[in-house]
Amino acid sequence: MADAVATQVLVDTARRAILKFTDISDSTGESAVVKVDVSTLAPYQGSACTSVSIEKLEAITDGMGVDILWDATADVVALTLGPDQFLTFDFSRFGGLTNNAGAGKTGDVSFTTVGAASGSRYTIILECLKNYG
């Protein structure tokens, strides 16, 4: 069996993407699963989105934590969310968290769950600024 996961694109405009993610675990968990695949986001004037900056995040974690990762050859942790939290982060004051991954950087965002037990869950809403070129 596998965790019951869902991704919902709430907004995808030229400048911004807002996505909602849920996971109800069967204790399998997730390991570096791509959640924001920049190649699937809408282009702007013929240019493909190449990365995102995380501007805002709202999350509820119940029974497990989540590492939010910049996808690369060696993933880089963007944020760590602890278990049993209700969190709101607003990074808009300085333009958002930018992808600082090195070799093999894809521009995508991945999640890894930490301590997933049967019935543990999360809901995460990411508000991202889209980058081109």
What is the CATH classification number for the domain harbouring 48? 2.60.120
What is the DSSP track for the chain? Answer: ---EEEEEEEEE-SSEEEEEEEEEEES---SSEEEE-GGGSPPBTTBPEEEEEEEEEEEEEES-EEEEEE-SSS-EEEEEE-SSEEEEEE-GGGT-B-----TT--S-EEEEEES--EEEEEEEEEEEEEEE-
pLDDT for the residue 133: 83
Domain count of the chain? 1
Instruction: Kindly report, residue by residue over 61-91, the tens digit of the pLDDT.
Output: 999 999 999 999 999 999 999 999 999 999 9
pLDDT for the residue 1: 67
Give the pair of three-digit tokens for residue 74: 């060696």
CA 111 to chain centre: 6
Query: What is the pTM for the complete model shown?
Result: 0.96
Domain that holds residue 72: 4-132
Instruction: Kindly report, residue by residue over 28-38, the tens digit of the pLDDT.
Output: 999 999 999 99
Instruction: Kindly report, residue by residue over 6-51, the tens digit of the pLDDT.
Output: 999 999 999 999 999 999 999 999 999 999 999 999 999 999 999 9
Q: Over range 84-113, report the average pLDDT.
A: 96
